[in-house]
Structures are given as C-alpha cells and as structure tokens.
Amino acid sequence: MADLPIWDTLVFILYLLLILGFGVSFSFRKRTAKDFTTGGGRLPAWAIGMSIFATFVSSISFLALPGNAYLSNWNGFVFSLSIPLAAWIAVRYFVPHYRSISSDSAYFYLEERFGPWARIYASTCYLLTQLARMGAILYLLALPMHFLFGWSIEWVIAMTGLIVVIYAMLGGIEAVVWTDAIQGLILIGGAIICLGMIFWKIPGGASQLLEIADTNEKFSLGSFDWDFGSSTFWMILVYGLFINLQNFGIDQSYVQRYITAKSDQDAKRSTWLGSLLYIPVSALFFFIGTALFAYYQTQPQNLPEGIQADSIFPYFIVTELPIGLTGLLIASLFAAGMSTLSTSINSSATVILSDHVKKYLRPNLSSKRDLKVLRLSSLAMGLLAILVGLAFNGVRSALDAWWALASIFSGGILGLFLLGIVVKTCPSRYAALATFIGVLLIAWVSLSPSLSQGGESKIVWLSSFHPNMSIVLGTTGIFLVGFLLTLAFQKKNKA
C-alpha cells in the first residue's frame, strides 16, 4: 500500500472534475433526443475516430493487457491482428448500410427483415453484453486503487460509475465523443511516457530488457497448432475476427458513431482511424507488460508479494514515476475506463429508447419525453453496471472473464444479421429456428468447462472447444442452419 503525494492527488482530482465539467457543459445547449443520440450528424471525422478508438480501449486494455503479457506472452495481441480485415468489411459494407437506413438503432434492420422478435433478441443481447463490459471495467479500475492506496473496491466502483453516469446522462453523444477524444490522447501519451521510464530505469537498458523477454519467450504469439480447445494463435485470430465483425456490424456503440458523421466519407475515415490506431496502441500495452516483467526480474525486491498481475502496471506508476506525473498517469488509467463506460451508457440508452420504449411501450412519446427516457435509461444502466462491477470482485483474470461473457452474451446476433443480408429469401420462421440452434451451440460450448471434472470431461458429449469459440460456433451455426433450411425449402417448392 502506498501514499499518493498531495500533488498527484490534486492532479488526479482536478482531471476528474475537468472531465465531469466538460461533459456536463453540453447539457446547457438546446438539444433534442436526436442530438442526444447522434449529435445532429455534425461531428468531425477525427473526433469520431478517436471515440471509436476509445471504445476499443478501456481499463481492460490499460490494465489487463499489460497484466496478461506480464503473466504469459503476446498471445492476446493476435486479437488485434484481426482488426484490419474486420475494418475493411465494415467500411465496404456496414457503414454504407447503416448510413442509408432511417434509424439510429443497429437493430432496426433485423425487425424489417425477420420481425419484432429479432430486434428484441438482438437488442437484449447487446444490453447484457454492455452490462458485462461495464462491470469488468469498473472492477479493473477499482482493483489497483484498492491495492495501492487501500481505497475500498466498492467505493471506487460506485464513485467512478456515478461520475461517468452524470456526464453521459446530461451531455449525450456529443459529450461522449469529445471526452473520448481528449481521454484517448491522454491515454496514448501516458502509455508512451511509462514505457520510456521503464527503459530508462531498468538496469542494463533496452538490451537487457529484450534479452530477458526473449529468454522467457515473452514475445511469443502462442502455439500455431490447429487446436481450438486452447488459446492458440489460430483460435484467438478467429475469435478476434468474429468479435470485431460483430463490433463493426451489429454493435450499437459503433453503429451510432457511423451516424454522427457529417458524410459517408467521414464515417469511413473515422472507422479506419479508430480501428487501425488500436493496433499499435494495444502492442504498446503488451510491450509495457513485457517490459515490466523484465524490470522486476532484475530487481524482484521492489515488487510486493501477492500482487495481482492486473495491478503491477499501476504499482509501477505510483512507486517509480516522478511526483505530478504519477497523478497524470493514474488519470489516464481512469480515462481509459471512463471513455468506454460513457460510450456503453449512451448507446445502451439509445437502444432502450429506440428498440423497447418507443417501439413497444410508448410509441407516441414527444421529443421532450424522449430526452427524459434517454437520461433515465442512462442512469439505470449506470447503476446496474455498478452492481455488476461489484459481482466481478474476486475473478482470477478480468480479461478472460470479459472475453467469455462477451462470447456468451453475443448470442450469435452477427450470424442473424449476415443471414438477413446474404440470404434474401430466408423466412422469419427459419431464422428463428436457426437462432434457437445457435443459442444451444453457445450454451454447449460455454457450459461444458463447468461440467467437466478434473480438467478432463467425463461426459462424452461435452465440448472440447475453448469457451471463447462460442461466438464463432453460434454465429456460424445460425447462418448455416438458416441458409440450409432456405435452400431445402426452395428445392421443395421447385419440385
């Protein structure tokens, strides 16, 4: 446990107050519900791109990626290598599609194509995914603060959640995008400064760091065996491709940003900027984890016993950086989490209004009432996220837990979306049956590890796939079953 010097404390508190004040300042503008959800379609491409980047980056990246690299190697970086292909598909197909439809909801198309059940199913899966994501982020923010300063995990989760809820609830998408842009820049600058300090402080310099990392195979991308039951290179690559396609293709957080751009070209440019910027930044965080491993190998007496891997990076920040810079780096840590939290809260509120309240509960709401529902929904999602964050307390690896929950709650909705676009003649009943089978596949892959005993399955029908493969099998299953049923139906009609 450490004492944060007064200057660092002041820098940290001042940062939180400035971000809160900046976000709340947008609430004083005359705005409609449309402004709250899309910013009136007038935001610049670079700011939207930075917001997309900040949606990728969170405390999951700031803490879990260095922690993951410290514990093992660069296997998790393979996830980032799948982004260019997913971004190209997004720019080529997804962005024009969403810019052309008259809705700020990512799930409007599914209702047009398959009926109300598809929209309700997809939007519910999205809300569950965002709650899991926000809970993981809040917990990761609280963990190092508790270890380093003795702050209560519950108190940090509640404080952070409430601060983000206030400016996301009052400021809308404009506040989210602009604060994302600012916090993204602070985050990148802070990470670069930290890596430079590690190079400067490690005995033997960069050559010693690289030698230790190479000796311990810290730069390995994982096994290249064709094994999808463990975290091999190919398993992470396929998982990353499906997750990122889902992000770009059916995730409200991304789709909403396509709509905020001034033109189609701006939307495409912002997508490229946000997605491609994440690749070198994620590599930077993995390298920080590797560098920290080498640093503490040379001086193990500086690392306290029992410290969790996700807390090692903030521990280095507090104990090794100069006064003033420590406060700024802790602020950048919070910037990473707060950016994604505000994005998730705003997009979830949009889904609640567009896909549930206005569609089924109160179709004739006035624009003034729309804005009230958006703010109440933001508050509700923020409070629920705080509860989920408390439930995360005690997990072994926040990154692994988040990846597993993301696979499960995805519900294979990417497969349903692709089925609607590619198989134009697939009727609603076949899509519903395909979705049911996809959910069964997801449950089979996800629940099998908990039913196995002693690490080896005693039941022959249990899955041998890695749990992260549930999104791959669920998505593929929905698409293939829907396609084959439609094909069989057409052949029967012809006969």
- Where would I find the H helices in 353-468? 367-391, 398-409, 413-422, 428-451
Alpha-carbon distance 86 to 71, whole Å?
A: 28
The DSSP code sequence of 97-144 is: HHHHSS-S-TTHHHHHHH-HHHHHHHHHHHHHHHHHHHHHHHHHHHHH
196-204 mean pLDDT: 85
In the numeric block, which tokens belong to residue 159? 């404080």
Residues 6+ apart with CB under 8 A from 260: 38, 39, 41, 42, 43, 48, 173, 177
Tell me the pLDDT band of 40, cut-offs 50, 70 and 90: low
Q: What is the pLDDT of residue 435?
A: 92
pLDDT higher than threshold 60 for residue 327:
yes
Q: How far is Cα 243 from Cα 472, in angstroms, rounded to an integer?
A: 8
Question: Which of the 8 DSSP states describes residue 43?
Answer: B
pLDDT at 287 over 90: yes
pLDDT at residue 160 tops 90 = no
Residue closest to 155 by CA, chosen among 141, 167, 166, 169: 141
pLDDT at residue 256 tops 90: no
Give the whole-angstrom CA distance, residue 427 versus residue 114: 7
- List all residues 6 or more positions away from 110 whose beta carbon is below 8 Å from its beta carbon: 118, 119, 122, 413, 416, 417, 420
| Two structure tokens written together for 22 | 């900046």
- % of residues, the chain, pLDDT over 70: 86
- Within 13 Å of residue 304, how many CA atoms lie on the same side as its CB? 14
Which amino acid, residue 25?
A: S
User: Which residues have CB under 8 Å from 137's CB, separation 6+?
Assistant: 58, 59, 60, 337, 340, 341, 389
Q: Would you say residue 2 has pLDDT above 60? A: no
Q: Does domain 6-396 have CATH number 2.40.50.100?
A: no
Going from N- to C-terminal start, the domains of the chain cover: 6-396, 411-495
Position 33 scores a pLDDT of: 66
Confirm if 133 and 311 have CB atoms less than 8 A apart.
Answer: no
Long-range contacts for 369-374 (Cβ within 8 Å, ≥24 apart)?
370/32, 370/33, 371/31, 371/32, 371/33, 371/36, 373/349, 374/33, 374/36, 374/37, 374/172, 374/349, 374/350
Exposed / middle / buried, residue 455 (Cβ in 10 Å: 0-12, 13-18, 19+) = exposed
Mean pLDDT of 376-390: 89
In the predicted structure, residue 1 carries a pLDDT above the cut 50? no
